Chains A and B, each alone.
Chain A
Amino acid sequence: MSERQSVPITVLVPERRNVELLQRCAADPSVMLLASGDTLAGAGLLGLLRVGRVMVIAPDVASRTAGCECCQVRLDLIDAVRCAVLRRSPPERLVVVVDRADSAVSGTTTGDDPASDVITAISTLHAGGEVERLAHLGGLVVDVDACAASTRLASGLAVWDSQMEAAIAIADSIVVTGAELLTEPSRSIIADSLSELNRIGQVIFCATEAIDVERLIVLDSWNRSPTLSCSSARDGGEPLAWPEVSPTHAEATVETVVLHRCGVLDSDATNAWLDRVVAESPRGLLRFQAALQVSTHHSRVCVRGSRSAMRSTTELQPGSTSSRRAPDDRGNVVVLIGRALDRQALSDSFESIEVAQ
């Protein structure tokens, strides 16, 4: 009996319906695309239903705790992942398209519709149970329409609504399409706006036809130690100090907190700290990712999650299949992305975790 591999999932959030990007994703025979019927029809991909290369999903949001927004999950995604993976020849990768509400596309302020909220989709993929058994989140790709963003900027409108802002802040890759139509200053403003918001991913400016789709969607960002974008990373044990939010983007309320610490931490105290962080701001915590040294004999533990959903795995070194190894000197790193995070309190409480005896 062959061992089934966990199928990686890439979540794709197009700001507008980028037909060409979807078509190029669908052209890869190892990929199965999960998207709404309208999106697939608009991209001319509904015919792939017949050969099992795409699957139609329709947001079906329920809360694990009645009335609790941070416990919302998308039941349709759980079903779809199950149906997509439990095949004789399962796809090598799933690409889940989270459609934006029409009002968001037009640049107006959206409500908090959980159906178009990428955080709800991300939380669902961390919610355990069937999804965790069959698949895992590999990465999040956000497709930004440069012309629309530039127009909103020039018009004095909010550049991103709250859901798009959250999606950009936690994205592993941000593709800015249509930027070739902008002037250099406009491109710079958009680039600055994105890099202020997102500290962990890469921003790619290019035309859709120039995108290397395989490189774009083959990500394994969530199951490893958090990485910071080049302009953000720095050595040393102190928490990173990010530049203040510029006055032109005062509406950017999502912030990134990076915590560093050396030594081997007490595992129980670390667990308690993580639980406390999640409990104190479940709705505001959009993404968290950490690599923590909690044993003198084993590799670091990688923790990732969103809102109240949290998962952990042992960090595997390249070429290694065992978690048993001497602790390294890379220490502990925690990245928290969210709204209304108390940077100082988080830093203080992280520093107060006991060291392992």
Chain B
Amino acid sequence: MTSSSQPILTTADIDWSTVLPDAVRVFDWSSKGRLLAIAADGSALVGGPERITAPMTPDPRDAIWLGERALAVVDPVVGLVTAGLNCGQPLPFWGACRVGTHGGRTVISGDGRLAVLGHSGINRVPEVIWTGVGVTHACVHVGGAMWALGGTNGLALIDVALGCVDTRVELSGVIAIAARGDAGRLVASDLAGAIHVFELSDLDSGVELTGYCDPVRLLAMSPDHRRVIAAAADELTHWAISDSGCVADEPTSIVVHDSTITALESSDSGFLATGDESGVVYVWSPLLAEHPVVRLQLDGEVTALAWSRDGTRLAIGSVSGELVVADVRAGALA
């Protein structure tokens, strides 16, 4: 996109759309812009709408690209199922619910354990690290060989290169984690409805943000690390963080959605996308935080959102299986 063609206002043009056999659960974009979408029945859209597979697992919980040609799906009963790696059998891992990859290592988290595998050796016996956080509910890469895991008993930083737990913090049921690798900061929400902001260098002294009735399941951090964004019911809340790391006493509250927000995703370019149970998707510009710049309508509750790595494409999935990919062009003003 050149500056001469840059619109004044941000636009979103639907590039293509299709319908999956069941509700869209998970998206992942490859580094070269290929989309992976997993439906609730386990079928997968790989690359484009013309390629939808048969169900890979009965109850998929997470999925990722492993490079450009292979993918992995985790299922709490089946374990890890891969495609494109010439592994005929799934890797058993009871309770597997999150999968991630970075720096040639793939991690699977589940019932108190984190399994670490290499891409080429995905069918080998993995290295297993006991996390001490119980059942995992969130797993995020936070830089280098470090991963943050949130679970029933708290939060843990795991060094997968050394194969050990680096730091552990007791919290009452971590539901979601947001982190950006270069920020040195992570945000976690707990079962009590609080959000905790931690500096990675000192997990023992976090800041607690309160005021939510229910646990906050949807969390994001802006790419400049200056805002924590949380969605609760139909409300978006932005917590500003100063240069010195101090968090504002009160959040900025924005109510634009008419129904419960069900999906939230921020892009590396600063855009934010939110979707609700009525099928409405709003795109929010970093230049105009309090008003959405784009509105899209799907035919059912929004169940998944994902920005491409370059932040120009947004994948949206709904409970009816509708899948839309939109090209988002940043405007000069908003």
Is A353 on the interface with B (CB-CB < 8 A)? no
Is B207 on the interface with A (CB-CB < 8 A)? no
The bracket for how many chain A residues form the interface is 20 to 34
Among residues 26 to 72 in chain A, which have CB atoms less than 8 Å away from a CB atom of chain B?
Answer: 37, 49-50, 52, 55-56, 58, 60-66
Is A73 on the interface with B (CB-CB < 8 A)? yes
Contact of B191 among A37, A62, A133 (CB under 8 A): A62
With the chains together, A49 CA to B152 CA distance in Å? 25
A60:B135 contact, CB within 8 angstroms = yes
Is B199 on the interface with A (CB-CB < 8 A)? no
With the chains together, A58 CA to B152 CA distance in Å? 13
Is B162 on the interface with A (CB-CB < 8 A)? no
Q: With CB as the reference atom, state the residue of chain A lying closest to B170.
A: A66
Among residues 41 to 86 in chain B, which have CB atoms less than 8 Å away from a CB atom of chain A?
Answer: 41, 55, 58-59, 61, 76-77
1/0 per residue, CB under 8 A from A, across B143-181: the answer is: 000000000110000000000000000101100000000
Contacts of B191 in A (CB 8 A): 62-64, 73, 75
Contact of B299 among A1, A62, A66, A75 (CB under 8 A): A1
Stretch at the interface among B5-13, B213-221, B242-250, B287-295: B213-221
Is A76 on the interface with B (CB-CB < 8 A)? yes
Among residues 187 to 220 in chain A, which have CB atoms less than 8 Å away from a CB atom of chain B?
Answer: none
Is A326 on the interface with B (CB-CB < 8 A)? no
Q: With CB as the reference atom, state the residue of chain B lying closest to A56.
A: B77
Stretch at the interface among A80-88, A267-275, A280-288: A80-88
Main secondary structure of the interface of B (DSSP, over half): loop
Q: With CB as the reference atom, state the residue of chain B lying closest to A52.
A: B41
Is B21 on the interface with A (CB-CB < 8 A)? yes
Is A129 on the interface with B (CB-CB < 8 A)? yes
With the chains together, A122 CA to B25 CA distance in Å? 27
Is B279 on the interface with A (CB-CB < 8 A)? yes
A64:B21 contact, CB within 8 angstroms = no
Contacts of B58 in A (CB 8 A): 49-50, 52
Q: With CB as the reference atom, state the residue of chain A lying closest to B78.
A: A49
B135:A75 contact, CB within 8 angstroms = yes
B300:A128 contact, CB within 8 angstroms = no
With the chains together, A76 CA to B136 CA distance in Å? 11
Is B228 on the interface with A (CB-CB < 8 A)? no
In the complex, how many angstroms separate the beta carbon of A186 from the nearest chain B beta carbon? 41
In the complex, how many angstroms separate the beta carbon of B214 from the nearest chain A beta carbon? 4
Contact of A75 among B95, B152, B319 (CB under 8 A): B152
Is B320 on the interface with A (CB-CB < 8 A)? yes
In the complex, how many angstroms separate the beta carbon of A46 from the nearest chain B beta carbon? 8
Instruction: Given A37-B77, A55-B59, A56-B77, answer yes or no on A86-B172 (Cβ-Cβ < 8 Å).
Output: no
Is B222 on the interface with A (CB-CB < 8 A)? no
B214:A86 contact, CB within 8 angstroms = no
Some 12 contacts from A to B, beta carbons below 8 A apart, are: A2-B300, A4-B301, A49-B77, A52-B58, A62-B173, A64-B192, A66-B170, A75-B152, A86-B25, A86-B319, A88-B22, A88-B319
Which residues of chain A have a CB within 8 Å of any CB of chain B? Answer: 1-2, 4, 37, 49-50, 52, 55-56, 58, 60-66, 73, 75-76, 83, 86-88, 128-130, 133
| Given A1-B278, A4-B319, 18 extra CB contacts under 8 A | A2-B300, A4-B277, A37-B77, A50-B55, A55-B59, A58-B111, A60-B135, A61-B152, A63-B173, A76-B135, A86-B301, A86-B319, A87-B23, A87-B40, A128-B214, A129-B215, A130-B217, A133-B260
